[in-house]
């Protein structure tokens, strides 16, 4: 079945860049997503990328997609303490999972001052 | 304000005592879903609903029931809770089921403890 893998932890210093990586299995996904979960809150959509794109930039966020390797990354430039959260990569499942979103286990980003 | 509202935020109960976690959205979304979040396991889907009176099992439906009598509400029912259902639960909705660019909107979560 489909699977989405990401490392569980990342620690960076304030002002540095953070790169969160994700690998996925379903090459038919047309959209791939990044969600952010702040402490005590639900997930919020951070950004997404369409599968015919290699890169998408939105202010401090850069998403890179390597379809050949099924690898997705999220780069946060000038990381701030407010960026500390859990980041989830997600893809649309195929018919076997009814087309619902398949989430990775989440990467906890800790930003040290 | 557009939102998904879950109640209660925290709930402590005992094994076997039926409970309901409510979920309501005010965005006229067709699609609604319940997830549980556990350490090391990430988010797992329990049940989802594509529209009124249409519900289907997700990855971990055992021990749960849902109903979708109206578009805005999607309650999660635990008929006989057990300690392995202690978890953080999230309700989510999106405008459409099939639309790839229909992001999920999440509630703030319900932390359930079953003793």
A20-68: pLDDT as tens digits? 999 998 777 778 899 999 988 889 999 989 888 899 999 999 999 999 9
Distance from CA of B57 to the nearest CA of A (A): 10
Nearest-CB residue to A101 (from B56, B104, B105): B104
- Exposed/middle/buried for residue B108 (C-beta within 10 Å: 0-12, 13-18, 19+): middle
- Residues of B at the A interface (Cβ-Cβ below 8 Å)? 4, 33, 40-43, 45, 48, 56, 58-59, 90, 92, 97-98, 100-101, 103-109
| Cα–Cα distance, B83 to A113 (Å, whole number) | 39
pLDDT digits (tens, 9 = 90+) for B42-98: 899 999 999 999 999 998 999 999 999 999 999 999 999 999 999 999 999 988 765
Q: Under an 8 A CB cutoff, do B100 and A100 touch?
A: no
B48 SS3 class: strand
H or E element: which one contains B91?
strand B87-94
- Per-range mean pLDDT, top range of A47-61, B9-23, B34-48: B9-23
Nearest residue of chain A to residue B33 (CA atoms): A100
pLDDT-based confidence at A96, cuts 50/70/90? very low
Question: Residue A82 — φ and ψ, nearest 5°?
Answer: -70, -10
The 3-state secondary structure of chain A, one letter per residue: CCCEEECCEEEEECCCCEEEEEEECCCCCCEEEEEEECCCCCEEEEEEEECCCCEEEECCEEEEEECCCCEEEEEECCCCHHHCEEEEEEEECCHHHCCCEEECCCEEEEEEC
Q: What pLDDT is stored for residue B111 in this prediction?
A: 97
Q: Under an 8 A CB cutoff, do A42 and B48 touch?
A: no
Q: What pLDDT is stored for residue B99 in this prediction?
A: 54
């Amino acid at each position: 079945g489909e699977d989405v893998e990401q490392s569980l932890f990342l620690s960076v210093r304030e002002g540095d860049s953070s790169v969160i990586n994700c690998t996925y299995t379903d090459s038919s996904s047309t959209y791939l997503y990044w969600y952010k979960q702040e402490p005590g809150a639900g997930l919020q959509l951070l950004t997404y990328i369409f599968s015919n794109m290699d890169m998408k930039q939105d202010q401090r966020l850069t998403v890179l997609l390597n379809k050949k390797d099924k690898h997705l990354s999220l780069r946060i430039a000038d990381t701030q303490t407010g960026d500390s959260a859990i980041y989830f990569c997600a893809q649309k499942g195929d018919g076997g999972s009814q087309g619902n979103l398949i989430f990775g286990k989440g990467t906890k980003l800790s930003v040290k001052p | 304000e557009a939102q998904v509202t879950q109640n209660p935020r925290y709930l402590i109960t005992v094994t076997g005592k039926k409970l309901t976690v409510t979920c309501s959205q005010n965005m006229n979304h067709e699609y609604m879903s319940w997830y549980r979040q556990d350490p090391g396991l990430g988010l797992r889907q329990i049940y989802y609903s594509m529209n009124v009176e249409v519900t289907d099992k997700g990855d971990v439906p055992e021990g749960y029931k849902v109903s979708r009598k109206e578009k805005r509400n999607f309650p999660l029912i635990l008929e006989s809770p057990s300690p392995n259902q202690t978890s953080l639960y999230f309700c989510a909705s999106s405008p459409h089921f099939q639309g790839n660019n229909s992001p999920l909107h999440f509630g703030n979560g319900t932390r359930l403890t079953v003793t």
